[in-house]
Amino acid sequence: MKPKLSPELSYVIGLWGMRRTKEGIGVRGEDVIPVFVNEVIGLKLTEPGRLLYSEKSVYFYHSKWRKFFQEVWRGRMERFKYLNEYSANFLAGVFDACGQIDEKGVVHIEGFGEDEMVLSRLGFKPKKKGKKIVIGNPRAFLKFIYDFLKVKKTEMEKYLSVK
């Protein structure tokens, strides 16, 4: 059976794309490991006994899923060009992996040109500054992804309640 993209899988791919491990399908970083494990087991991408842990990372091997993840990641500009649950989950995964809100309330993610294009097409007015992409429309962006965040939701609540 061919893998099929779902909103929940879009989140995992966003998280994986920004924090991927060199081996298998996995993520690095103590803050995202529990979320990644819960999601891949919940989506039945692998079984708990097949997860491999190394220092500050977790991963599993599955060639079909790896190829699918890579295809979605490479095609993210086309797949996530609409304001829907798929792109909200994908961007929530990206933000959980590498997004920040600084002390001035500036929202940014580390990203690539493709990520800037995805954000631009969705109307969030991004600006690339070095390795960071500053979100020009932060409140709309945060409201768009808020319900799908799993790692940085409390950080987001503080920001949204202040504004």
Which residue in 94, 95, 80 sits closest to 159, CA to CA?
Answer: 95
Q: Write down the number of H helices and E strands in the chain.
A: 8, 7
Return the CATH number of the domain spanning residue range 84-162: 3.10.28.10
How many other CB atoms are there within 10 angstroms of residue 119's CB atom? 25
Every domain of the chain and the residues it spans: 7-76, 84-162
pTM (two decimals): 0.94
pLDDT tens, position by position, for the chain (163 residues)? 789 999 999 999 999 999 999 999 999 999 999 999 999 999 999 999 999 999 899 999 999 999 999 999 999 999 999 999 999 999 999 999 999 988 887 899 998 899 999 999 999 999 999 889 999 989 899 999 999 999 887 777 766 665 4
Cβ atoms 15, 94 nearer than 8 A: yes
